[in-house]
Structure formats: structure tokens, C-alpha cells
Structure 1
Amino acid sequence: MHIQAFLDQHGWSNFQWLIFVMMFFVAFFDGMDTAVIGYIAPDLIRDWQISKADLVPVLSAALIGAAIGAIVLGPLADQFGRKTLLLFSVFIFACCC
């Protein structure tokens, strides 16, 4: 079976479109927090009466967490499977929320 020919002959199902749209929104809102915090940082500094240096940990936490997660969980996902690590990560995230 030629995968490319099979994919070219068959359109996307409704289920595949649903998954695509859901994953688009996951990626959109995952990146939105980083963009929004940069946008509202000047107001936070003014309203909370803190220095820029005090806000640095907040601004960098998501990026540092993503970098550490990629470095640590990438090799583990290769070893244990991506689905297993994804479910584990979602579980940890849910518990911490």
C-alpha cells in the first residue's frame, strides 16, 4: 500500500476535521498565555507596584518549563511512547491545577 496515494484518494473525515480543529485551539491557547503576559506586563508593573525584575520569573516560567519539558520528556517519550507520556503530562497538569 502506498500511503501517499491512499491519502490523496481519500478526503478528511468529520472526525479528522474535529481533531484538527481541537488541536488548533490547544496550540492557539497554549501560545496565547505567553503573548498575553508580555502585553499586560506594563499594566501589572504599574498596578501591583513592582519592579520589572520582580516580574521576570513570571514572564520566563512558561518558556523555561517548555524547554525543560522538551529536553526531559522527549527522550522519555521515545522510550515509553508518546501517548503514555502525553497522558502522564496531562494528569500532572490536572493535579497541579
Structure 2
Amino acid sequence: MDNQIFEYLLEKRVGFGKHQLRQFFIISFIDFLDGAEFLFLSILTPTLKQEWNLSIVELSIFGGSFNLGLMIGSTICGLLADRIGRKNILIIGTVLQSFFLQHLQTIQFK
């Protein structure tokens, strides 16, 4: 019975229009980019092992620190989103990511 009430409210009262479709594609694109990070990590790991002569332990630390950073960053951004709004956090995150990606090429590893 509760499911029928929910469907009624969703279809008749709220609706699904252009705005919801636009939001769906924006969130899907952000989720796609988040998933691409894991794909790049799996592609990058064998290259790092060969180029930098890393051991399995060092690669495990690299992967673990990547996931730990995601966990800490998601927690902090979630708390900030509750305070200042999700839209603001998405804008700030996009600007920071764009800035750091453009300046990533200036980093030199020795």
C-alpha cells in the first residue's frame, strides 16, 4: 500500500520533467567521472610498478591511500554539503579539480 502512495505522489504531484532529467544527467556525469578514477587507477598501477620499480607492498599502499583519501574527502564534503549546500560543494569541487588538473603537468617526480 505504501508503494502505491509513493508512486502516486511521484507521478501526479511531483512529476518528472526537464528539470529532473537535467539533474539526472548532471549527477550521472559526476558519478561517471568518479568511476573513471578507479579505472585510471587500475590502468596506472602496472605502469607505476614498471616505471618506478615499485613492489607489491608499495602498490598496495598507493591503492589504499587513494581509497582512504576518497573516504576522508567524501566525509568532509558530505558534512560541508549539509552546512553550505550540495550545489555549492559541487561547484567548489569542480573548480578545485579543474585547477589542480591543469597544474598537475608542472609537477616533476624525481
Give TM-score scaled by structure 2 length: 0.59
1:12-51 aligned within 5 A: 12-46=16-50, 48-51=51-54
**What is the one-letter code of the residue matched to 2:90?**
L
Q: 1:77 aligns with which of 68, 75, 81?
A: 81
CA-CA distance at 1:68 after TM superposition: 1.5
**What is the one-letter code of the residue matched to 2:81?**
A
CA RMSD of aligned residues (A): 3.0
The reply to whether residue 8 of structure 1 matches residue 11 of structure 2 is yes
Identical residues among aligned pairs (%): 23
Higher relative contact order (CA 8 A, sep 6+): 1
**What is the one-letter code of the residue matched to 1:69?**
G
Q: How many residues align?
A: 95
